[in-house]
Amino acid sequence: MEISASLVKELREKTGAGMMDCKKALTENSGDFEKAIEYLRKKGIAAASKKAGRLTKEGAVTSYIHGEGRVGVLLEVNCETDFVARTEQFKQFVKDIAMHVAAANPQWVHSGEVPSSVLEKEKEIAVAQMQASGKPAAVLEKIAEGKLKKFYEDHCLLQQTFVKDSSKTIEQLLKETIAGLGENISVRRFARFVLGEGVQESATESN
């Protein structure tokens, strides 16, 4: 069945969950509003979204080394209290994120960090690739938006599929962890190092 935008908006205002989560909840429950609320609560999404604005100043900075020292990651994950930072669930989450960064090589934490110049360039490339198809400009715009969504999924940590569980994104894993621990958690920043990366370029520039 088709779910109206007004119903999705109403559910979002009621629960604080994201638009896509609300639409999925309504779709999964055939448009039943109360069942959709229950669905979000069971998933922990409603509770997690309501905590999203709360200040996070505790947490951990961790390192992860992979491949006998060939790849390394430094990662900062924040939470609200030192108590939660010491829990095994939080520590496991931090470890999983660091491992994921090493394996999936994201460039940014979330889509809001991607520079506008990069987005414009990606959009230009997408449109240029499709212009020869003869499709109307409005259709090309939609295709370009789809390609940008794929770009986010490839390069932004929160939008990436979790390497240990392909059924969820890192953002979904984050929401589940927030719901489980009962306070806001945020991935603040990371740096990924690959042994020898950029050495050839640096040597060429110095010559």
Please calculate the CA angle 73-44-94 and round it to the nearest 5 degrees.
Answer: 15
CA 38, distance to chain mean position in Å, is 24
Look at residue 79 in the predicted model and tell me its pLDDT.
93
Does 104 lie in the same domain as 11? no
| Residues 105 and 119 occupy one common structural domain | no
DSSP conformation class of 183: S
Which tens digits make up the pLDDT trace of 150-190? 999 999 999 999 999 998 999 999 988 988 888 889 999 99
* Mean pLDDT, all residues of the chain: 85
Asked whether residue 62 falls in the same domain as residue 107, the answer is yes
| Number of domains into which the chain is organized | 3
> Does one domain contain both 99 and 160?
yes
Query: Could you tell me the CATH number of the domain that includes residue 69?
Result: 3.30.479.20
Cα 70 to Cα 114: distance, rounded to the nearest angstrom: 27
- Structural domain that includes position 24: 5-51
* d(C-alpha 141, C-alpha 193), whole Å: 36
CA distances to 68, 109, 119, 134, 150 from 130, in Å: 43, 29, 17, 8, 16
Task: Give the list of residues 6+ apart from residue 77 with CB closer than 8 angstroms, or none.
Answer: 59, 60, 62, 90, 93, 94, 97, 185, 186, 187, 188
CB atoms within 10 A of CB 61: 12
Output b/e per residue, 134-160; b: 16+ Cβ within 10 A. Answer: eeeeeebeebbeebbeebbeebbbbbb
Does pLDDT of 46 surpass 70? no
Both 25 and 104 in one domain: the answer is no
- 42 and 128 share a domain? no
Q: Which of 34-38, 97-101, 175-179 has the highest mean pLDDT?
A: 97-101
Distance CA 185, CA 116 (A): 26
Given this model, what pLDDT does residue 37 score? 83
Band (pLDDT 50/70/90 cuts) for residue 143 is confident
Question: Across-strand partners of 186?
Answer: 78
Shared domain check, 191 and 95? yes
Percentage with pLDDT > 70 across the chain: 86
Q: Do residues 16 and 50 make contact, with C-beta atoms less than 8 angstroms apart?
A: yes
Please indicate, yes or no, if residue 171 is contained in any of the structural domains: yes
Residue 139 within a domain: yes
Q: Does residue 205 belong to any structural domain of this protein?
A: no
Statement to judge: residues 107 and 185 lie in one domain? yes
Same domain, 84 and 182: yes
**Alpha helices in the chain, H assignment, sequence order:** 5-15, 19-28, 33-43, 45-51, 82-85, 88-104, 116-130, 137-155, 170-181, 199-206
CATH of residue 36's domain is 1.10.8.10
Instruction: State the pLDDT at residue 22.
Output: 86
- Pair 122, 37 in one domain: no
Which range in 5-14, 60-69, 191-200 is most confidently predicted, on average pLDDT?
Answer: 60-69
Structure tokens at 138: 């409005």
